[in-house]
């Protein structure tokens, strides 16, 4: 992980310089960038679905007993420079899994509130490499419910108590943004790295991520 960050951080810092290059390029973007953007994301955790049907028809009922994660994100962006976008963002996480020999269910709800900066190479019309850097405050709440026909012991009741968890979280996310409809719509595909596991949808230090956005100018 440390080696990966050593490689990624210099690349991110170099992106504004690369974006200013005046060398000849083909398929260059001659359009004036839009000032404002709204981006959203909503999907099951990618480590949790077993096939296309599970991805398209998310089993919120938890009847199959498998771990389930749902993730949502919304962010606003303001373009300070043609290659720099900044703004606030809000992340929501819902996770549930069986524990204690399948006798009880853990429910975790997480909320990240913070901001981000995007550095992008704004030279090509259809695709634009980018890197996001974000910092946020993470708040999560966990609670347990017991399966029917199971009577927990006093020790289990003390062990599986509701809890709250909060801390600051950071991440870096390189990727590619694909532009359509005269740059009004962008679809982002990337990888999000974070040293804090619950910053990601799958509880790991990295995860595939995507977003869809609308870009516009205010009157």
184's tokens: 């009004």
- Report yes or no on 136 lying in a domain: yes
Q: What is the CATH number of the domain that holds 164?
A: 2.40.160.20
Residue-wise pLDDT for 91-136, tens only, equals 998 888 777 666 778 888 889 999 999 999 988 889 999 999 999 9
Q: How far apart are CA 206 and CA 208, in angstroms?
A: 7
Over pLDDT 70: what percentage of the chain? 70
Number of domains present in the structure of the chain: 1
The pLDDT, as a whole number, for residue 180 is 92
**Residue range 186-207: average pLDDT?**
75
Q: How far apart are CA 73 and CA 153, in angstroms?
A: 39
Residue-wise pLDDT for 1-30, tens only, equals 555 554 455 555 555 544 444 444 444 555
The pLDDT, as a whole number, for residue 206 is 78
- Report yes or no on 112 lying in a domain: yes
Q: How many CA atoms lie within 13 A of 92 on its CB side?
A: 11
- Report yes or no on 121 lying in a domain: yes
pLDDT higher for 186 or 5? 186
- Report yes or no on 3 lying in a domain: no
Other beta carbons within 10 angstroms of residue 56's beta carbon come to: 9
Q: How far apart are CA 107 and CA 1, in angstroms?
A: 29
Confidence of residue 61 (pLDDT cuts 50, 70, 90): low
List the one residue out of 115, 69, 114, 73 whose CA is nearest residue 91.
73
How far, CA to CA in Å, does 131 sit from each of 145, 159, 190?
40, 42, 9
pLDDT higher for 57 or 142? 142
The alpha-helical segments, DSSP class H, found in 151-191 are 154-159
Q: How far apart are CA 130 and CA 132, in angstroms?
A: 7
Backbone dihedral angles phi then psi of residue 206, each to the nearest 5 degrees: -150, 155
- Report yes or no on 72 lying in a domain: yes
Over pLDDT 90: what percentage of the chain? 35
- Report yes or no on 130 lying in a domain: yes
Residue-wise pLDDT for 126-168, tens only, equals 999 999 999 999 898 888 887 777 787 878 777 778 888 888 9
List the one residue out of 96, 77, 95 whose CA is nearest residue 87.
77
pLDDT higher for 116 or 52? 116
pLDDT higher for 169 or 50? 169
Domain extent at residue 75? 35-216
Strand locations in 20-122 (E) = 36-44, 68-81, 84-99, 104-120
- Report yes or no on 26 lying in a domain: no
pLDDT higher for 170 or 195? 170
Tell me the pLDDT of the chain averaged across its residues: 78
The pLDDT, as a whole number, for residue 21 is 47
The alpha-helical segments, DSSP class H, found in the chain are 2-19, 52-56, 154-159
- Report yes or no on 14 lying in a domain: no
């Amino acid at each position: 992980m440390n080696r990966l960050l050593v490689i990624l951080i210099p690349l991110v810092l170099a992106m504004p310089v690369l974006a200013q290059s005046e060398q000849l390029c083909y398929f260059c973007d001659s359009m004036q960038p839009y000032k404002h953007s709204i981006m959203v994301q909503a999907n099951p955790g990618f480590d949790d679905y077993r096939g296309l049907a599970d991805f398209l028809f998310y089993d919120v009922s938890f009847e199959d007993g498998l771990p389930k994660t749902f993730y949502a994100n919304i962010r606003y962006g303001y373009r300070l420079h043609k290659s720099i976008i900044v703004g606030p963002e809000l992340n929501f996480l819902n996770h549930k899994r069986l524990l204690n020999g399948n006798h009880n269910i853990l429910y975790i709800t997480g909320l990240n509130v913070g901001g981000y900066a995007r550095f992008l190479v704004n030279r090509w019309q259809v695709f634009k490499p980018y890197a996001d850097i974000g910092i946020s405050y993470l708040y999560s709440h966990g609670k347990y419910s017991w399966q029917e026909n199971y009577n927990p012991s006093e020790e289990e009741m003390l062990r599986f108590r509701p809890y709250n968890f909060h801390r600051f979280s950071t991440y870096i996310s390189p990727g590619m943004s694909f532009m359509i409809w005269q740059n009004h719509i962008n679809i982002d595909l990337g990888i999000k790295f974070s040293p804090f596991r619950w910053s990601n949808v799958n509880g790991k230090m990295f995860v595939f991520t995507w977003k869809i956005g609308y870009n516009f100018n205010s009157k």
